[in-house]
Amino acid sequence: MTTLTLFRYPSKNIYWALTQMQRAHGALSKAPGLMFYKLMGSGGDGGFGLWPNWRVYALLGNWESKEDWVRYNAENTFALESQERCSEQMTTFLQPIRTHGLWDGTNPFEPIAPIDIPADAPVAVLTRARIRIKRLPEFLRETTAAKASLKDQKGLLLSIGVGEVPLIFQATFSIWQNVDAVQQYAYKTQAHAHVVSKTRERNWYSEEMFTRFHVLGAAGTWEGKSFEEKISK
């Protein structure tokens, strides 16, 4: 099972949240059943701005079982302290259904167990890339329109830009009402098609990964709303 947890901290706890980008690794590396994880920051303007959003962070985890996550959430020192310090927190529970590419030389979501999901089931998409430094200026320039168009897509329930290192390591996490909504954006949006074409032409990435998930559920709130209710509609 995979989880993606979003944290929003009040201003008084920004410094603590920032220090956890280094200090939390001790607690996370000891969490039983946590096979792969990435603790990430986010950008401003919904995660896609150039300047970091010091209040919003994300934790991606790949677990041997949901029971391991439940134990982590109830006992791990980082989990407990972040719950106490953040103003809101939401975890999305995910099952990988399609993946390709690498993250730090490996793909944590392989092998994929084949499953059938309903046509109207919510799905999530995680894209991650390591941007070549010499290509960074044109990457930022050429992807502006695609990032802006994502926010207005029909069927989009949530999107956020996150990453391990600002600008260089970039990831986008999005949740959609169904697979059709994802495909409409991926294959029929001009701005997105332009980025795909430029990516191949200009060789922007030294590493990239794409994973699609079945959304199993969610716990907590984001932007003041229960996301469990949102994805079940």
pLDDT in tens, 100-159: 999 999 999 998 888 888 888 999 999 998 888 887 777 777 666 666 667 778 899 999
Residue 84: predicted pLDDT: 97
Rounded CA-CA distance 18/7 in Å is 12
Question: If you average pLDDT over every residue of the chain, what do you get?
Answer: 88
pLDDT, tens only, 136-149: 777 777 666 666 66
Q: Which residue shows structure tokens 């996370």? A: 28
Q: Cis check for the bond before 111: say yes or no (omega within 30 of 0).
A: yes
Residue 52's pLDDT band, with cuts at 50, 70 and 90, is: confident
CATH for the stretch 2-231: 3.30.70.100
SS (H, E, C) 9-46: CCHHHHHHHHHHHHHCHHHHHCCCCEEEEEEEEEECCC
Name the burial class of residue 170, with classes exposed (0-12), middle (13-18) and buried (19+) by CB atoms within 10 angstroms of its CB: buried
Domain ranges of the chain: 2-231
3 state DSSP class of 138: helix
Residue 188: predicted pLDDT: 67
Q: Are 107 and 96 in contact (CB under 8 A)?
A: no
Q: Provide mean pLDDT across the span 3-15.
A: 97
Q: Provide mean pLDDT across the span 12-28.
A: 96
Residue 200 has pLDDT above 90, yes or no: no
